[in-house]
Amino acid sequence: MGFEPVWTLRAEGRRKLPKIDVHPAFERMLCRMPAAARSTFTLHQLALLAKITKPPPSLHWIDYRVSLPFFGNRYYLTVLFGKERRLLKRVKSEGQASLLKSSIVYVAVLWFLISVCLISSLGGLYLVKSVLGVDVFNGPSLVHQLVIVDPVPQ
C-alpha cells in the first residue's frame, strides 16, 4: 500500500504547473513527514523535493539487485561491478585492499571462467561427435535417451 498524495491546486495565475516526478524515495519521505507540515508545501516546492530525492543513475557497469525467497524468509543479492573511484588510501583504510581478499576474488573468478570453458568445450565436443556419428560406447546415445523419439513402426 503506497502513499497516494493528494495535490491541491492554488490559484497561481497563468504560470505553468511543475511536473512532479513521484518515485519511492519521495513517497517515503512524505509518509514520514507529519500531515500538517506536508500540507504547507507549494507545488513548486514539492517538485523540487521530488527532484532532489530521486536517486542518481548507477555508475556501475553491472548493477544487479534481486530479492529472493528462501525457506520462508526473503534475502537480497546485490552484484556491482565497475571502475574503482575511491582513493587507494580509503580502500586500504576500509580493509578492502588486503592480499587475502584480492586472492580469494581472483581464485573465484578464475575457477568460474575455467568451469564455463570446460563445460562449453565438453558440450561442443559431444555435439561434434553426435553430428559425425561417432559412437564411443555401445547402446543409445545420451541425446536419444533425453529426447523422446517415437519408435519407427515396423
Strand partners for 67: 76
- Most confident segment among 82-91, 94-103, 127-136: 82-91
Mean pLDDT of 85-112: 86
Confidence of residue 91 (pLDDT cuts 50, 70, 90): confident
Task: Determine the Cα–Cα distance for residues 108 and 102; give it in Å rounded to an integer.
Answer: 10
pLDDT tens, 12-27?
A: 555 566 778 788 888 8
Strand partners for 126: none
Percent of the chain predicted with pLDDT > 90: 18
142 or 49: which leads in pLDDT: 49
Span of 11-15, 36-40, 74-78, 82-86 with lowest mean pLDDT = 11-15
